[in-house]
Amino acid sequence: MSTIVDNRYKLASPVGRGATGVVWRAYDMLLDREVALKEIPLPPGPDAVERRRRVVREARMAARLSHRGIVTVHNLAEEAERLWIVMEFLEALTLHDTLVQAGPLPADLVAAMGRRLLDALRHAHDGGVIHRDIKPANIMLTGDRVVLADFGFAAPEGAASGSMRGTPAFLAPEALHGRGGTREADMWSFGATLYMAVEGQTPFRTVNSMAALAEALRGPARAPRRAGPLEPVLRGLLRKDPRARLSAEQASVLLARVRCTSAA
């Protein structure tokens, strides 16, 4: 028997896992369309209140952003001690899966992807939303769309960042000290993601813990070997001092130059 959520959404099959829950392919019986449902279990006891607060914040922040490069949020439901974020369904591969299957991508292709992703990121920032978990697994590629997904760690710009959030290999240095809720920190993660796309590895050695990341960040980043004209963008985005890091506007100009160079 199919599971039906909120008397409306018929679950079909799990299609992935985000930072905070499982994502299901589902069918909206009211509007006759496919959707994606992100299932977020609520822990027992008082922790459920805090989890609910965070999930509602995630859904509201993502829902107020309207951009073809950001996954669209339709609804939020609660049932069976779970919260369900209802989103558009995308028949897509993540950038992570693409790299696993195809290996590193050409610099001009990464620059084109980067321009679309940066446009979405600038829209989020202009709306006062900091993503805090930009990485290949949270970028979906479908047709001519590059879509930023999973706002599970997102926070309003200027909010106290508190504890560290995000994935170690793509975290800005300042995020290790609880200062990751800024545009500059998102730009570092954006740069690390582009580096992974073109080089096939992270800028610093692969790490799985904060201690290992702190140790890795004491040394220089790996020198790019495949980036070509993309190298100035990578170096500018991966400056350890956030005040010296490329802004979104500066990165946009440099990415456009990669396009011009490739077309010449």
End-of-domain residue from the set 39, 66, 88: 88
Torsion of CA 160, 69, 260, 187, to 10 degrees: 10
101 & 77 share domain: no
Residues 120 and 59 in one domain: no
pLDDT, tens only, 76-131:
999 878 999 999 999 999 999 999 999 999 999 999 999 999 999 999 999 999 99
Measured torsion, CA atoms of residues 64, 67, 72, 73, in degrees rounded to the nearest 10: 0
Question: What's the CATH code of the domain at 54?
Answer: 3.30.200.20
50 and 97 fall within a common domain: no
Q: What is the value of pTM for the model shown?
A: 0.91
The number of distinct structural domains making up the chain is 2
- Shared-domain flag, residues 73 and 100: no
- Whether residues 191 and 246 share a domain: the answer is yes
List, for residues 139-152, the tens digit of each pLDDT value. 999 988 999 998 88
Identify the burial level of 8 via C-beta atoms within 10 angstroms of its C-beta, where 0-12 means exposed, 13-18 middle and 19 or more buried. middle
> Other CB atoms closer than 10 Å to residue 242's CB: what's the count?
17
Say how far apart CA 5 and CA 79 lie, in whole Å. Answer: 7
Residue 229 has pLDDT above 80, yes or no: yes
Quote the CA–CA distance of 123 and 117 in Å, as a whole number: 10
Catalytic residues: 133
Confidence of residue 264 (pLDDT cuts 50, 70, 90): very low
Looking at the structure, do residues 215 and 135 belong to the same domain, yes or no?
Answer: yes
User: 137: which residues sit within 8 A by CB, 6+ positions away?
Assistant: 94, 95, 96, 167
Looking at the structure, do residues 71 and 190 belong to the same domain, yes or no? no
DSSP bridge pairs for 75 = 86
Final residue belonging to a domain, choices 73, 88, 103:
88
Q: Looking at the structure, do residues 8 and 132 belong to the same domain, yes or no?
A: no
Whether residue 33 has pLDDT greater than 60: yes
pLDDT at 163 over 60: no
Binding residues: 38
Domain shared by 97 and 66, yes or no: no
Q: What CATH number corresponds to the domain at position 240?
A: 1.10.510.10
The C-alpha atoms of residue 130 and residue 124 are separated, in whole angstroms, by: 7
Name the residue type at position 196. Answer: M
**Category of 228 on φ-ψ map: left (φ > 0), alpha (ψ -120 to 50) or beta:** left
Find the domain containing 31 and state its range. 4-88
- 118 and 100 in a single domain? The answer is yes
Q: What span, in angstroms and rounded, lies between the C-alpha atoms of 173 and 102?
A: 29
What local confidence, expressed as pLDDT, does residue 152 receive? 84
pLDDT at 127: 94
Task: Please give the average per-residue pLDDT across 39-63, as a whole number.
Answer: 87
Domain boundary among 56, 88, 120: 88
169 and 244 inside one domain: yes
In tens, the pLDDT along 173-201 reads 888 877 778 999 999 999 999 999 999 99
Do 156 and 232 reside in the same domain of the chain?
Answer: yes
Interval 3-31: pLDDT, tens: 999 999 999 999 988 667 899 999 999 99
- C-alpha–C-alpha distance, residues 68 and 3, integer Å: 30
